[in-house]
Chains A and B, each alone.
Chain A
Amino acid sequence: MTSSPADHPDLPRLRRRVFLALFAALAVALHTLEALLPAPAPWFRLGFANILTLVALFCYGGRAAWSVALVRIGVGSLVLGNLFAPGFLLALGGGIPATALMTLAHRVGGRRLGPVGVSALGAAGHAAGQMLIASLVLVRHPGLWALFPFFLLFALLTGIANGVAADLVLDALRGHPAFSAALGVEEER
Chain B
Amino acid sequence: MSTRRLLHLLVLLLLATALGAACKSQGAPAKLVEVRRSQLLMGTVVEIIARGPDRPRLETAVDGAFAELARIEKLMEPHGLDSDVGRLFKAGIFLEVSPDTAAVIAQGLKVATASGGVFDMGLGRLKELWDIEGEHPQPPSAAAIAQALAGTGLGDLQLNGRVVQKRDPGLVVDLGGIAKGYGIDRAIGVLAAAGVEHASINAGGDIRLLGNRGNRPWRIGIQHPRHPGEILATIDLADTAVVTSGDYERFYERDGVRYHHLFDPRTGQPGRLCQSVTVVAPEAVLADALATAVFILGPQAGLELLARFRGVEGLIVAADGTSVTTPGLADQVKWR
Direct contact of A and B (CB under 8 A): yes
A→B interface (CB under 8 Å): 17, 66-67, 70-71, 74, 84, 88-89, 92, 137
- The CA-CA distance from A120 to B25 in the complex, in Å, is 32
**Could you tell me if A137 and B26 are in contact, using CB atoms closer than 8 angstroms?**
yes
Contact of B21 with A by CB under 8 A:
yes
**Could you tell me if A84 and B26 are in contact, using CB atoms closer than 8 angstroms?**
no
Q: Which of A17, A66, A67, A88 is in CB contact (< 8 Å) with B18?
A: A88
**Could you tell me if A70 and B14 are in contact, using CB atoms closer than 8 angstroms?**
yes
CB nearest neighbor in B for A84: B21
Contact of B7 with A by CB under 8 A:
yes
B→A interface (CB under 8 Å): 3, 7, 11, 14-15, 17-18, 21-22, 25-26
- The CA-CA distance from A89 to B21 in the complex, in Å, is 9
CB nearest neighbor in B for A89: B22
**Could you tell me if A92 and B11 are in contact, using CB atoms closer than 8 angstroms?**
no
**Could you tell me if A70 and B11 are in contact, using CB atoms closer than 8 angstroms?**
yes
Chain A: minimal CB distance from B312 (Å): 37
Chain B: minimal CB distance from A126 (Å): 17
Report if A137-B11 is in contact (Cβ < 8 Å); known contacts: A84-B18, A88-B18, A92-B18: no
**Could you tell me if A137 and B22 are in contact, using CB atoms closer than 8 angstroms?**
yes
**Could you tell me if A74 and B14 are in contact, using CB atoms closer than 8 angstroms?**
yes
Chain A: minimal CB distance from B171 (Å): 59
Chain A: minimal CB distance from B134 (Å): 52
Chain B: minimal CB distance from A109 (Å): 25
- Main secondary structure, interface of B, reads helix
A residues within 8 A CB of B18? 84, 88-89, 92
The 5 A-B pairs of least Cβ separation, nearest first, read A84-B21, A74-B14, A70-B11, A92-B18, A89-B22
**Could you tell me if A137 and B25 are in contact, using CB atoms closer than 8 angstroms?**
yes
A residues within 8 A CB of B14? 70, 74
- The CA-CA distance from A84 to B15 in the complex, in Å, is 10
**Could you tell me if A84 and B17 are in contact, using CB atoms closer than 8 angstroms?**
yes
Chain A: minimal CB distance from B24 (Å): 9
Chain B: minimal CB distance from A21 (Å): 10
- The CA-CA distance from A88 to B17 in the complex, in Å, is 12
B residues within 8 A CB of A17? 3
CB nearest neighbor in A for B11: A70
Q: Beyond A70-B14, A70-B15, A89-B22: 18 further Cβ-contacts under 8 Å?
A: A17-B3, A66-B11, A67-B7, A67-B11, A70-B11, A71-B11, A74-B11, A74-B14, A84-B17, A84-B18, A84-B21, A88-B18, A89-B18, A89-B21, A92-B18, A137-B22, A137-B25, A137-B26
- The CA-CA distance from A89 to B25 in the complex, in Å, is 11
- The CA-CA distance from A74 to B13 in the complex, in Å, is 11
- The CA-CA distance from A108 to B17 in the complex, in Å, is 32
- The CA-CA distance from A89 to B17 in the complex, in Å, is 11
CB nearest neighbor in B for A66: B11
- The CA-CA distance from A92 to B22 in the complex, in Å, is 11
A residues within 8 A CB of B17? 84
Chain B: minimal CB distance from A140 (Å): 9
Chain B: minimal CB distance from A119 (Å): 23
CB nearest neighbor in A for B7: A67
A residues within 8 A CB of B22? 89, 137
